[in-house]
Structure 1
Amino acid sequence: MAETAPWPWVAALALGLEAALGYPAALNRAAGHPVAWPAAVIALLERRWNQPAASDRRRRLLGVVLVALLVAASVLFGAAIQGVLGSSLPALTLVALVATTGLAQRSLYDHVAAVLAPLQAGDLPAARAAVAMIVGRDTAALDAEDVAAAALESLAESFNDGVVAPAFWLLIGGLPGLFVYKSVNTADSLIGHKEPRWRMFGWAAARTDDLMNLIPARIAGGLIALAGGGGWRILRRDARLHASPNAGWPEAAMAGALGVQLGGDARYDGVLTNRPAFGDGPCPTPADLARGLRLYRRACLLLWLIPMAIGLIAVLAR
């Protein structure tokens, strides 16, 4: 099916369906989200394989084996679904529906909008609680500007991780490509850390995730700058300041497009972490967060145009 399916149109349809439907709450209550399935496997193998008494070499090797298993299982699972459904038009619509489980346009928007609403109402405790759902930093002492900044940073970075990169790998590799990306990205979020416990075991997950996000992160940054009508100078100047080779691209683009400053030091589990700052402007306000959400919607629409344009070119080239 991967050779004959019109994947650009499937990707475009999946993006549109997910934006409209999201992931139904009833389905989430009944079966959980599919991302939880590889997460459970990763957690299980991490407990069994990542033993502190083992050598660094053994822990890194077992981390490589874990990533290889995730990739193999994701390819087989995705290919099996495609093979069962076939390549008819109704089947491809079902494939697009399955693919929506790997995208997060709607949920990302809803989570950030849930931060904006209490900020606009002046309810800082509720805003802190809402932003704590989407960021890893300590939120108890954040003021309104800090909350807006944290939400914007999450919106920018997750635009890549939850929207652009999954759509890119769906377009490139169909459901197997999408499932591989989601499994690797989940592994990175769970074990791809620099703390001593995970540094060796999570090395392969972190490096594979970096590799799979190299192109999508740059596309995400470009789409944000394009949707915002500016920010290119800050994107070029600040994107490489981030410790990650990829996260700085959408964050720098968001800072430049909105004319605000993002990043900077933050506390995680009570420990102050030094982080680079992106942009030259002031700290963002709740009004800037509202502008960021509007920019995000435009960037998503621009993303939809990419597979549609590729599909149209393929049709005209026949």
Structure 2
Amino acid sequence: MAADPWIVLAAAAVEGACGYPARLRVPHPVVWIGAALRRLDQALNRGGDLRRRFAGLLTLLLVAGAAGGAGLLLDRFLQGWALILTIGLGSLGLAARSLYDHVAAVSRALGAEDLPAARAAVAMIVGRDTAALDADGVAAAALESLAESFNDGVLAPLFWFLLGGLAGLFAYKAVNTADSVIGHREEPYRCFGWAAARADDLMNLIPARLAGALVALAAGRGWRIMLRDAARHASPNSGWPEAAMAGALGVRLGGAASYDGIAHDRPVFGDGPRPSPLDLDRGLGLYLRACALLAAALALGGLAWPR
């Protein structure tokens, strides 16, 4: 069932103000999902290609079904004053504050000209090798993560929360986590993670394009680069917010990068120079403006919501 936009906005506000409180001393639900995926991986990821594909589909259905089912039960029973609990649980599926804090830590280290600290901070949010990155390389990696995670951690969870309530939000988080854990092209996940990767592509199809549009709208520019370069990305979705960020800031993102010691020749987004540490600060400001536009859209939806 669709969620009241005011409830979705309230959950976003709680997460933006508090993030995930460390004093809870309870692992984030995404950690539980990841642990379940790894157990199923160990138990089921074996045999021939067809068997692995079926086992991967079964794994996805079990994890996403359990998460979505739990959300559906909560949607049915959390009414009246218990809506406060809905807001709190909804905030757990969002990561706007966490994303800002992680990228801001990279920016502070670069501002202090502490390159080792900047490399360590950016290694927390990217999968590429960071030990040899210069300051501009660190800034570029952080900006790419900021753009992509604006969709994965902010807009897409809000989209599915709005569309499907806690059930939609929890199912999306399970699929997105499954893509992160097992949705890889390399062995041993080429077949086992296929269903997770395709499901994640499907669930991000609309949100990623909305994320790119919001970045361009917040900047007042970037549309041309987004429309021109988004399809260059290997993912059908990640290129939209990344190309929009490149165009909005007038910089060049993407390009060659190393993962686990192996060089990858990635596509390039944008026509400008490599981003500098100052561009990372500009990107954080743009991210906040895009989040504000998203909040305004939810508020308008709340005003139009039938009572």
Structure 2 residue 117 is the aligned partner of structure 1 residue 126: yes
Structure 2 residue 22 is the aligned partner of structure 1 residue 8: no
CA drift at 1:169: 0.2
CA drift at 1:31: 1.1
User: What is the CA–CA distance in structure 1 between the aligned matches of 2:172 and 2:93, rounded to whole Å?
Assistant: 9
Indicate if the aligned counterparts of 1:18 and 1:106 stay in contact, CA closer than 8 A.
yes
TM-score (norm 2): 0.98
SS state of the match for residue 267, structure 1? strand
Q: Which residue of 1 aligns with 2:19?
A: 22
SS state of the match for residue 168, structure 2? helix
- Residues 290-305 of structure 1: pairs in structure 2 closer than 5 A: 290-305=281-296
| Percentage of matched positions with identical amino acids | 61
SS state of the match for residue 197, structure 1? coil
- Residues 1-318 of structure 1: pairs in structure 2 closer than 5 A: 2=1, 7-27=4-24, 30-51=25-46, 54-85=47-78, 87-88=79-80, 90-315=81-306
Indicate if the aligned counterparts of 2:93 and 2:169 stay in contact, CA closer than 8 A.
yes
Indicate if the aligned counterparts of 2:110 and 2:118 stay in contact, CA closer than 8 A.
yes
| Aligned AA (1:313) | A
CA drift at 1:48: 1.1
Indicate if the aligned counterparts of 1:264 and 1:276 stay in contact, CA closer than 8 A.
yes
RMSD of the TM alignment (CA)? 1.1
SS state of the match for residue 29, structure 2? coil
CA drift at 1:306: 2.0
For these two proteins, the number of residue pairs brought into alignment is: 307
User: What is the CA–CA distance in structure 1 between the aligned matches of 2:87 and 2:231, rounded to whole Å?
Assistant: 34
| Aligned AA (1:14) | A
TM-score (norm 1): 0.94
SS state of the match for residue 57, structure 1? helix
CA drift at 1:114: 0.3
| Aligned AA (2:273) | P
| Aligned AA (1:60) | R
User: What is the CA–CA distance in structure 2 between the aligned matches of 1:55 and 1:215, rounded to whole Å?
Assistant: 34
Indicate if the aligned counterparts of 2:250 and 2:271 stay in contact, CA closer than 8 A.
yes
CA drift at 1:80: 2.1
SS state of the match for residue 218, structure 2? helix
Indicate if the aligned counterparts of 2:55 and 2:192 stay in contact, CA closer than 8 A.
yes
SS state of the match for residue 258, structure 2? strand
| Aligned AA (1:76) | G
CA drift at 1:155: 0.2
| Aligned AA (1:41) | A
User: What is the CA–CA distance in structure 1 between the aligned matches of 2:265 and 2:207, rounded to whole Å?
Assistant: 26
Q: Which runs of 5+ in 1 are unaligned?
A: none
User: What is the CA–CA distance in structure 1 between the aligned matches of 2:220 and 2:148, rounded to whole Å?
Assistant: 19
Indicate if the aligned counterparts of 1:235 and 1:249 stay in contact, CA closer than 8 A.
yes
Indicate if the aligned counterparts of 1:261 and 1:277 stay in contact, CA closer than 8 A.
yes
User: What is the CA–CA distance in structure 1 between the aligned matches of 2:160 and 2:4, rounded to whole Å?
Assistant: 10
| Aligned AA (1:61) | F
Indicate if the aligned counterparts of 2:15 and 2:97 stay in contact, CA closer than 8 A.
yes
User: What is the CA–CA distance in structure 2 between the aligned matches of 1:39 and 1:245, rounded to whole Å?
Assistant: 24
